[in-house]
């Protein structure tokens, strides 16, 4: 069942949330997104061109950044993580009200 928050959030948030959920935590405490934009676009159900536009916008907004020297690998910035964490807090508050 779709949550109340899902009903009122844009595709931008939903894509960011999927990126967040796909992160892989490394032994040194860092995290990165191990799947490609093409793989992510299939999971979400958008074209690779659309996904590329989202990634470009996320980079411009400081939400994701390249992961080290690895081409095509990204990681969420502190800003990106904070957005997700605040939205998750809001979702929990909404559940308490329902």
CATH of the domain at 65: 1.10.10.10
* Domain total of the chain: 1
Which residues of the chain are modeled with pLDDT < 50?
A: none
Please, are residues 74 and 64 in contact by the beta-carbon 8 Å criterion?
Answer: yes
The per-residue DSSP string of 28-95 comes to TS-EEB-S-HHHHHHHHT--HHHHHHHHHHHHHTTSEEE-TT-TT-EEE-HHHHHHHHHHHHHHHHHH
Give the range of the structural domain holding residue 41, as residue numbers without chain letter: 4-97
Q: What is the pTM of this model?
A: 0.82
Condensed to tens digits (0 to 9), the pLDDT of residues 40-51 reads 999 888 999 999
């Amino acid at each position: 069942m779709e949550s109340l928050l899902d009903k009122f959030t844009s595709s931008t948030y939903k894509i960011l949330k999927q990126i967040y959920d796909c992160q892989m935590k490394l032994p040194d405490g860092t995290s990165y997104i191990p799947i490609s934009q093409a793989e992510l676009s299939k999971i979400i159900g958008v074209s690779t061109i659309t996904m590329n536009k989202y990634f470009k916008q996320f980079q411009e907004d400081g939400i994701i950044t390249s992961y080290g020297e690895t081409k095509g690998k990204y990681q969420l910035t502190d800003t990106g993580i904070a957005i997700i964490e605040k939205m998750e807090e809001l979702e929990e508050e909404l559940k308490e009200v329902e």
